[in-house]
Amino acid sequence: MTVKNSLTPLEAQITRIEEMTSIEKLFYLKLIDLNTVKEFHYTPGQFLEVSIPGVGEAPISICDVQREHGRLQLCIRKVGRVTNAIHRLKKGDRLWIRGPYGNGFPMNLMENHDLLLIAGGLGIAPLRSVLQYALLHRNSYGSITVMYGVKCYSMMLFREEFLKLFREGDKLNVKFLLAYEDSDDFQCYQLSCERSDRCMSGLVTKLIESTAITPDNTYAVVCGPPIMYKFVVKELTQRGFTPAQIYMTMERRMKCGVGKCGHCITGSSNSIKYVCKDGPVFTYWDALKTRGLM
Amino acid sequence: MTETENNLKPRIGVFSLTGCAGDQLMILNLEDTLIELLSKFDIKSFQEASSYSENTNLDIAFVEGSVSTEHDLKTLKNIREKSSLLIAIGDCAVNGCVQAMRNKQTSIAERMIDVYGVEDNIYKTFEPKGVGEYVKVDFEIPGCPIEKEEALNALISLLNGDAPLIPDYPVCVECKLNGYPCVIIEEGKPCLGPIITAGCDARCPGLGLDCVGCRGPIKGETNAKAELEALRKRGYADKYIINRLRFFAGNFDDIQILGVKENSKGDK
Amino acid sequence: MYKKLFKEDLEQFTSTLKQFGSIYGPVKKTSRGCEFTELTDFKDLQLNYTRTMIPPKKFFLKPKEPLYSLNKDAGFKEIIDDSKTVLLGVHSCDINALNLLDRVYLNQFPDLHYKTRRENTIIIGVSCEPDDYCFCTSTGSSHALKGFDLFLHEISDSYIVRVGSMKGFQIITQNKHIIKNPSLTDIKEFKEYEAERLSKITLNLNVNGIQDILDLSFDHAVWQENADICFGCGSCNLVCPTCRCYDVIDYLKLDLKNGLKVRRWDSCMLKQHALVAGGLNFRPTRVERLYNRFNCKMSCSEDSLNCVGCGRCTVYCPADINFVEVLKQVRED
Ligand SMILES: Cc1cc2nc3c(=O)[nH]c(=O)nc-3n(C[C@H](O)[C@H](O)[C@H](O)COP(=O)(O)OP(=O)(O)OC[C@H]3O[C@@H](n4cnc5c(N)ncnc54)[C@H](O)[C@@H]3O)c2cc1C
Ligand code: SF4
Ligand code: SF4
Ligand code: SF4
Ligand code: SF4
Ligand code: FES
């Protein structure tokens, strides 16, 4: 008896690996089973459960926009059991994925608006898919501003891609701004000499402080380490962004990704949220209604 | 087997400090799987630490027994220097175990008089402690002795390049998963299960016995005060409860605090 | 549709259930009561019981179950238990709890393991024997309106049998010779028995508006007081019929190629429930975990409360933390 179980991981092959930093690699995947390829659609902000048989599963955001059916990219930081095992894999090796899960960003709702993308560290991974989507449908969105906070130059993800945007983004009506924490970082310093209004030393909030942004007709999309949200949201609300104009994507422990295992539960009894299925994308308004979400 | 294959195998050593060597025996007890298991490792040393001499670097050093003498400490530091991973196996190595029962209760001098009749610390012993008190420990496999299954799974994980998975939840969880009747609730027995690290599959409660805590308390999660409270309510005397708690866990701060209070009541 | 079965015919009735699967029912296990156990001898069946420690949830979401056999090169192959089972003697609260679990496990992404067990199991309810810990009338779960194939409502010498599904109807049809129609006196008796049963449920928890109260009372002293005596042992969740949390672990065999993916019940009272890589814990202390548990249980899924008032979490807490008492203290009434 062969039963179709939508929760059974599908086989995928690694077609390419790029080492991005000392702890992060970019994996290019291709789904193997042609029948599943056709049904495999994802939108920016959705994630997969990636598994290595015998080691375990980890939720990972898809970091590119869907172009070709059955192909996708994952940017993975090695931090523990599963992610270490993924980092040991070579080009041509297989891993297993299920998904995509989660609500993703409301790309339709955001059409005809300006986009302000704010990311810290690895948080750029899901936002890159938003950026790529907006660039792919360039006429549907207004101006795009990206604010990216990194520790230092060597920790900057998608470096070439983003440096190109940093220098030539204006052609596409994209402003790319960079903040770096390590004030002694020479390469970042050089970038700041190139465009002092686009690259500065400090936290990502510094970029918000020193850039003229207005909430009119704009959606802010934020992703980064949990501690970042509070500060970013404060800056944005001070500038008049309403809680419904701020989108954020959240991290929690996740075992199932589909609202069953309970690990991603958050909130109090008047508003319980399962970050995997009710999110991972929430508005700041959701966060205000749900205790502990942010 | 070719030379290169051999070189790819993790080089391991198993060492005993002060302990009963029960954990080594447990590994040797994995008879059926032993030969297959051992063939996957390049065993550099499997012996009492006292005869440790080889100066080879190791991928993984398993250390059992507590640190109780100067000599233990010297050997341990040497092992740590030579090994990429150091794994404490058994309660003695994890937290001092039974040997630490009287730590901070009686002085070494008192104990020397009790046991040897002299006050001088002739063996240069000090309060037995887990190896983590002195060197960095990468993983801990608790138990007195360790569980075969758990040890096997840990070795498999290590062979595969993964961190071993050791439970960080209490025996009650395994009790419930097996559907064993709770001996505190049903019979008022002085079970320590609620604060003791799981991994034994709730062997004792499964036999209707109360957990004595042989796998040691869960680090960072032990609510010893609650255990004292829960057993008091069921009619047990403080002294009995505290001795029971100290038996395998004399080195735990929150259990020692209970001990100090009890001592100050004038008990010997 | 209501029928009637004489108690003296129960043994014969039970024996016909065998063709629908292995029969499990409440069997005396401890001083406190019964557990659902495979019925090998009809005499072991104890239909007059108060509560089992482990709820019948264990048949659908198993305490420990292998989900897949795995192979490093070939991936995952489902291990599905499609054995036929009959659960005889399930109480209303536990049936309502299963209805709640269905919303989780049979939603947009159905869990094949759960679904298969659910489809292969016949549930026969029975009226309960409430004690001082039951508060199902407060949580709206003292009666099961759906989620069973048959329900045996006890009256003096017989059961009024409510038929809840086609499968139940089939069982009734096969037992035609011992199945009767309830008489007017039976119906009168049924009302008396129901009143009698309900009168035994004396514990009351006012859940009206409890959600607002809980949110506003997140820093109420009662959480810390109870966290101080709580072990974080997880028993309260592991015996709860509506708790749905699980953990998944991959085990590898010594060949480093084959293995099993296993799931087991989990509990939000355990420290790793909300722990993520890098050591960040979204509920680092027992206070936060306790608060989460009570909030999860008092939240609603669609229109039903996530607690069915079965009393297990109180009865089986080794620290004697009383679920209803804590909520009453928070409510301050
Ligand atoms: C929606 C979402 C999107 C994400 N996207 C990305 C992404 O694009 N790129 C990326 O690199 N990361 C991403 N992450 C984070 C990523 O999922 C984690 O880094 C990953 O799960 C770590 O798994 P691990 O096995 O390597 O780590 P481990 O630390 O070994 O953790 C394994 C699992 O156990 C938990 N755990 C941690 N410590 C312990 C412990 N001591 N005992 C028991 N369990 C423990 C973890 O929470 C995890 O669920 C995302 C997370 C979420 C929720
Ligand atoms: S018998 Fe002991 S270990 Fe088992 S549930 Fe009760 S207290 Fe916990
Ligand atoms: S059963 Fe009691 S002691 Fe254990 S976690 Fe629950 S409330 Fe705490
Ligand atoms: S929370 Fe307690 S009373 Fe409510 S359903 Fe769960 S175990 Fe029963
Ligand atoms: S979060 Fe806690 S209370 Fe809620 S279902 Fe999971 S274990 Fe039960
Ligand atoms: S990850 Fe399992 S419920 Fe959200």
The residue out of C199, C230, C251 marking a domain boundary is C199
Instruction: Say what percent of chain C tops pLDDT 90.
Output: 95
Same domain, C180 and C216: no
Same domain, A31 and A149: no
DSSP structural state of residue C19 = G
What number of residues does chain C have? 333
CATH number reported for the structural domain that contains residue A122 in this entry: 3.40.50.80
Whether C31 contacts chain A with CB within 8 A = no
Average pLDDT on B139-146 reads 88
**DSSP states of chain B:** --HHHHHHSPEEEEEE-BS-SHHHHHHHT-HHHHHHHHTTSEEEEEEEGGG------EEEEEEESBEEEHHHHHHHHHHHHHEEEEEEESHHHHH-GGGGTTTTTS-HHHHHHHHHS--S-TT-EEEEE-GGGTS--SEEE-BTTB-HHHHHHHHHHHHTT-------SBHHHHHHHHTPPPHHHHH-----GGGBB--S-SHHHHTTPPP--TT-BPTTT--HHHHHHHHHHTT--HHHHHHHHHHHHTT-HHHHHHHHHHHHTT--
CATH 3.40.50.700 at B3-159, yes or no? yes
Min distance A149 CA to chain B CA atoms (Å): 31
Nearest neighbour of B182 by CB, restricted to C234, C265, C316: C316
Q: Distance between CA A67 and CA A51 in Å, rounded?
A: 23
Q: Distance between CA C254 and CA B34 in Å, rounded?
A: 10
- Per the listing, tokens 């498999």 go with B156
Residue A269 lies in a domain: no
| Ligand 3 site-directed mutation target among C233, C283, C313, most atoms within 8 Å of CB | C233
Give the pair of three-digit tokens for residue B117.
């009749």
Res. B268 pLDDT band, cuts 50 70 90: very low
Decide: C264 and C66 in contact? Cβ < 8 Å. no
Mean pLDDT score of chain B, rounded to an integer? 80
Residue A4 lies in a domain: no
Domain that holds residue A36: 10-101
Min distance C19 CA to chain B CA atoms (Å): 27
Domain that holds residue C63: 2-199
Same domain, C246 and C101: no
Same domain, C245 and C216: yes
Instruction: Say what percent of chain A tops pLDDT 70.
Output: 99
Same domain, A15 and A132: no
User: SS3 for C125?
Assistant: strand
Same domain, C95 and C187: yes
- Residue C142, pLDDT > 50, answer yes
Same domain, A158 and A46: no
Decide: A154 and A182 in contact? Cβ < 8 Å. no
Question: Of A29-38, A247-256, C67-76, C84-93, which gets the smallest average pLDDT?
Answer: A29-38
The pLDDT tens digits of the residues spanning C155-180 come to 999 999 999 999 999 999 999 999 99
Whether the predicted interface score ipTM is above 0.90 = yes
Q: What is the largest CA-CA distance in chain C?
A: 69
Residue of A51 and B16 predicted with greater confidence: A51
Give the pair of three-digit tokens for residue B66.
């507590």
Give Cα separations from B41 to B46, B58, B165, C258, C289 (angstroms): 12, 11, 20, 19, 42
Alpha carbon of residue A27 to chain centroid: 15
The pLDDT tens digits of the residues spanning C21-49 come to 999 999 998 877 899 999 999 999 999 99
Instruction: Say what percent of chain A tops pLDDT 90.
Output: 85
Same domain, C59 and C176: yes
Q: Distance between CA C240 and CA C234 in Å, rounded?
A: 10
Same domain, C126 and C234: no
Decide: A113 and A107 in contact? Cβ < 8 Å. no
Residue A36 lies in a domain: yes
Residue B27 contacts by C-beta under 8 Å, 6 or more apart in sequence?
B14, B34, B146, B151
The neighbour count for residue B7, using CB atoms within 10 Å, is 9
The pLDDT tens digits of the residues spanning C296-330 come to 999 998 889 999 999 999 999 999 999 999 999 99
Q: Distance between CA A226 and CA A220 in Å, rounded?
A: 16
Give Cα separations from A5 to B143, B240, C263 (angstroms): 40, 54, 16
DSSP structural state of residue C124 = E
* Partners of chain C (3+ Cβ pairs below 8 A): A, B
Dihedrals phi, psi of B235, to nearest 5 degrees: 95, 10
Give Cα separations from B127 to A21, B15, B239, C12, C205 (angstroms): 46, 20, 22, 69, 53
Which residues have CB under 6 Å of ligand 4?
C 239-242, 297, 307-313, 323
**Burial readout B129-150 (b: 16 or more C-beta within 10 A, e: otherwise):** bbbbeebebbbbbbbbbbbeeb
Residue C204 lies in a domain: no
Adjacent-strand bridge partners of A58: A50
Angle at B84 between CA B78 and CA B90, to 5 degrees: 75
Residue nearest to atom 1 of ligand 4 (CA): C307
User: SS3 for C163?
Assistant: strand
Residue B59 contacts by C-beta under 8 Å, 6 or more apart in sequence?
B10, B11, B12, B83, B84, B85
- In chain A, how many domains are there? 2
Same domain, A232 and A123: yes
Give the pair of three-digit tokens for residue C7.
């108690």
Residue nearest to atom 5 of ligand 2 (CA): B172
Same domain, C172 and C318: no
Average pLDDT on A263-269 reads 95
Residue C285 lies in a domain: yes
pLDDT, position A31: 93
**DSSP states of C209-234:** THHHHHHHTTT-HHHHHHHHH-----
User: SS3 for C47?
Assistant: coil
Same domain, A176 and A136: yes
Same domain, C82 and C46: yes
Q: Distance between CA B145 and CA B130 in Å, rounded?
A: 15
Q: Per-domain residue ranges for chain B?
A: 3-159, 171-258
Decide: C246 and C234 in contact? Cβ < 8 Å. no
pLDDT, position A2: 47
For the packed helices C221-229 and C286-298, what is the interaxial angle rounded to 10 degrees?
A: 110
Q: In this complex, do B162 and A85 lie within 8 Å of one another by their Cβ atoms?
A: yes
Average pLDDT on C90-101 reads 97
pLDDT, position A247: 97
**DSSP states of chain A:** -----TTSPEEEEEEEEEE-SSSEEEEEEEE--HHHHHH----TT-EEEEEETTTEEEEEEB-S---STTEEEEEEE--SHHHHHHHT--TT-EEEEEEEES----TTTTTTSEEEEEEEGGGHHHHHHHHHHHHHTGGGS--EEEEEEESSGGG-TTHHHHHHHHHHGGGGTEEEEEEES-TT-HHHHHHHHH-TTTEEES-HHHHHHTS----TTEEEEEES-HHHHHHHHHHHHHTT--GGGEEEE-----SSSSS-S-TTEEEETTEEEEHHHH-SEEEHHHHHHSTT--
- Residue C128, pLDDT > 50, answer yes
pLDDT, position B100: 64
Residue A203 contacts by C-beta under 8 Å, 6 or more apart in sequence?
A120, A149, A179, A181, A231
The residue out of C152, C179, C199 marking a domain boundary is C199
Cα nearest neighbour of A53 on chain B = B160
- In chain C, how many domains are there? 2
Residue C205 lies in a domain: no
User: SS3 for C204?
Assistant: coil
Average pLDDT on A32-37 reads 86
Same domain, C104 and C166: yes
How far, in Å, from the CA of A259 to the mean position of ligand 5? 12
The residue out of C199, C233, C258 marking a domain boundary is C199
Same domain, C17 and C154: yes
Average pLDDT on B12-40 reads 73
Same domain, A219 and A243: yes
Same domain, A94 and A125: no
Task: Please indicate whether residue C275, judged by its CB atom, sits closer than 6 Å to ligand 1.
Answer: yes
User: SS3 for C315?
Assistant: helix
Which residues have CB under 6 Å of ligand 2?
B 171-172, 175, 182-184, 191, 193-194, 202, 205, 211; C 235, 318
Average pLDDT on B127-136 reads 84
Whether B163 contacts chain A with CB within 8 A = yes
- Residue C243, pLDDT > 70, answer yes
Alpha carbon of residue C216 to chain centroid: 30
Nearest neighbour of C231 by CB, restricted to B33, B175, B223: B223
Residue of A192 and B53 predicted with greater confidence: A192
- Residue B119, pLDDT > 70, answer no
Angle at C54 between CA C53 and CA C60, to 5 degrees: 160
pLDDT, position A13: 96
Task: Please indicate whether residue A110, judged by its CB atom, sits closer than 6 Å to ligand 1.
Answer: no
- Residue B52, pLDDT > 60, answer no
Top-ranked range on mean pLDDT: pick from A160-174, B45-59, B229-243, C233-247: C233-247
Whether B110 contacts chain A with CB within 8 A = no
pLDDT, position B4: 45
Nearest neighbour of B156 by CB, restricted to C58, C228, C252: C252
The pLDDT tens digits of the residues spanning A127-149 come to 999 999 999 999 999 999 999 99
CATH number reported for the structural domain that contains residue A22 in this entry: 2.40.30.10
Same domain, A22 and A89: yes
Q: Distance between CA C310 and CA C313 in Å, rounded?
A: 8
Q: Distance between CA C142 and CA B43 in Å, rounded?
A: 63
* Partners of chain A (3+ Cβ pairs below 8 A): B, C
Give Cα separations from A2 to B187, C78, C79, C85, C115 (angstroms): 48, 10, 11, 22, 15
Average pLDDT on B33-58 reads 71
Residue of B222 and A150 predicted with greater confidence: A150
Residue of B266 and B174 predicted with greater confidence: B174
Residue A244 lies in a domain: yes
- The H or E element that residue C172 is part of is helix C166-174
Alpha carbon of residue B148 to chain centroid: 14
Res. C63 pLDDT band, cuts 50 70 90: very high
Same domain, A244 and A133: yes
Q: Give the pTM.
A: 0.92
The pLDDT tens digits of the residues spanning A14-32 come to 999 999 999 999 999 999 9
Same domain, C138 and C187: yes
Mean pLDDT score of chain A, rounded to an integer? 93
Closest to A121 in 3D by CA, of A179, A40, A79, A177: A179
Cα nearest neighbour of C101 on chain A = A260
Q: Distance between CA A233 and CA B23 in Å, rounded?
A: 54
Whether B160 contacts chain A with CB within 8 A = yes
Task: Please indicate whether residue A122, judged by its CB atom, sits closer than 6 Å to ligand 1.
Answer: yes
Which of C61, C67, C73, C76 to probe the A interface (max A CBs under 10 A)?
Answer: C76
**DSSP states of C139-154:** HT-SS-SSS-SEEEEE
Whether A53 contacts chain B with CB within 8 A = no
Res. B66 pLDDT band, cuts 50 70 90: confident
Res. B263 pLDDT band, cuts 50 70 90: very low
How far, in Å, from the CA of C245 to the mean position of ligand 5? 6
Residue nearest to atom 4 of ligand 1 (CA): A60
